[in-house]
Amino acid sequence: MSNIKAYNVSGALDFAEQADVFFFKTVTVESPTNAEDIGLWFTDVAITVVQMNAVCVGSSPSVTWTVRHSPDRSAAGNEVKTSGTTTTSTTTGSEVTSFNDATIPADSNVWLETTAKSGTVTSFTLTIKYTID
């Protein structure tokens, strides 16, 4: 019975007793450019990013990317990992577990930016693993 999750009246998880619950968001960008600026989601609760994984599909692909957050989507935002990450792998991908600003406050936008691309990149997929604070 330890795998059963408790729900309150609103349908949300009771996080006080669910410290080991992880959430995931995934986005795939087809034929990404070197200047993508893609809104991923809005969070109305504070969250902490614990892992990001990215993988490319293509021929000698390379994508440099970063994830940003801010209550103001028109602002520059804070980078989860400063200076971003370059992903070239078409198999295991890139795994990021060290962050500069992993805590995203409530009422924030979360978005993906790409800053460089080379080779033929058919698609780029990013998965963000996080907890609710």
Among 91, 102, 43, 35, which residue's Cα sits nearest to residue 68? 102
Q: Which pLDDT value is given to residue 20?
A: 76
CATH for the stretch 23-132: 2.60.120
d(CA 97, CA 50): 6
Asked whether the predicted pLDDT for residue 10 surpasses 90, the reply is no
Domain regions of the chain by residue span: 23-132
Region of poorest pLDDT, from 10-14, 22-26, 33-37, 38-42: 10-14
Between residues 2 and 29, which one has the greater pLDDT? 29
Q: Which pLDDT value is given to residue 1?
A: 39
Residue-wise pLDDT tens digits, 85-128: 999 999 999 999 999 999 999 999 999 999 999 999 999 999 99
* Distance, C-alpha 94 to centroid of its chain: 12
Which pairing describes strands 108-132 and 47-70: parallel, antiparallel, or unpaired?
antiparallel
Between residues 6 and 75, which one has the greater pLDDT? 75
d(CA 11, CA 24): 18
Asked whether the predicted pLDDT for residue 80 surpasses 70, the reply is yes
* Distance, C-alpha 128 to centroid of its chain: 3
Among 41, 42, 52, which residue's Cα sits nearest to residue 101? 52
